[in-house]
Amino acid sequence: MSTSSMSRRLSQKTILITGASSGIGRSTALEFARTAPDCRLIVTARRVAALAELKSCIEKEFPGVSVLVYKLDVSNQNEVSGIVEKLPPGWREVDVLVNNAGLVKGVDQVGSISPTDIADMINTNIVGLISLTQEVLRSMLSRGGHGDILNVGSIAGRDGYAGGSIYCATKAAVRTFTEALRKEMVSTRVRIMEIDPGQVETEFSVVRFRGDKEKADTVYA
């Protein structure tokens, strides 16, 4: 599809991106702004200062784009529940949902993985993604059944690796959840997509190594 037909399709659309405070989510927000300079972006994550910085960066470069900064921890059910109604008026009709928020913790092997790390990964990568999808999908269906939902999986969901068992399992779950949802939506105009990146240099490894940038850098060396 040419850039101009993509621009037309995304014109005036409201796009909600999770995990927009860094890495792939942040770049995705910028790419939407570049492609559709009159779109409306809801950028969400836990770190609102980084989102505010992204908002000013987008508004400076693409003055026609409206940006709403919204604090959202996808692993917190209270924050996700009823989110569409909690958005300010004028922002509730989400046309495109990008479920990008995700994390990996540690490189521990099965038998030594901390229950907290297991819960963090499952509650963010699986439960958070599913819960938010349910909220936004209900709204899309109630408005005639159209929209786009894009889930960020990983090649790790297709091929497990030592030291990544839980993360890999969460991304395998994203993959089969996405496949099943796509089949459920086949007779609607809600399109269900997944992108499975390979290795991308973001804050991902810094989070994995709990802030140890030096260790994280060795991953990409």
Residues with active-site annotation: 167, 171
β-sheet bridge partners, residue 195: 152
Handedness of CA 73, 75, 79, 85 (dihedral sign): positive
In the complex, the smallest distance separating the C-beta of residue 109 from ligand NAP, rounded to whole angstroms, is 19
Q: State which residue, 21 or 133, has the beta carbon closest to ligand NAP.
A: 21
Separation of alpha carbons 99 and 67, rounded Å: 17
Q: What angle do CA 18, 10, 98 make, to 5 degrees?
A: 15
Q: State which residue, 48 or 141, has the beta carbon closest to ligand NAP.
A: 48
Q: State which residue, 23 or 147, has the beta carbon closest to ligand NAP.
A: 23
Q: State which residue, 82 or 145, has the beta carbon closest to ligand NAP.
A: 82
In the complex, the smallest distance separating the C-beta of residue 202 from ligand NAP, rounded to whole angstroms, is 3
Separation of alpha carbons 113 and 91, rounded Å: 40
Q: Report helix, strand or coil for 15.
A: strand
Separation of alpha carbons 106 and 207, rounded Å: 8
Are 94 and 14 in contact, with CB atoms under 8 Å apart? yes
In the complex, the smallest distance separating the C-beta of residue 158 from ligand NAP, rounded to whole angstroms, is 11
Q: State which residue, 8 or 213, has the beta carbon closest to ligand NAP.
A: 213
Separation of alpha carbons 141 and 86, rounded Å: 18
Token duo for residue 37: 């300079």
Closest CA to 41 of 54, 29, 57: 29
In the complex, the smallest distance separating the C-beta of residue 12 from ligand NAP, rounded to whole angstroms, is 25
In the complex, the smallest distance separating the C-beta of residue 18 from ligand NAP, rounded to whole angstroms, is 6
Binding site for ligand NAP (CB under 6 A): 18-19, 21-25, 45-47, 72-75, 100-103, 124, 128, 152, 154, 197, 199-200, 202-204, 207
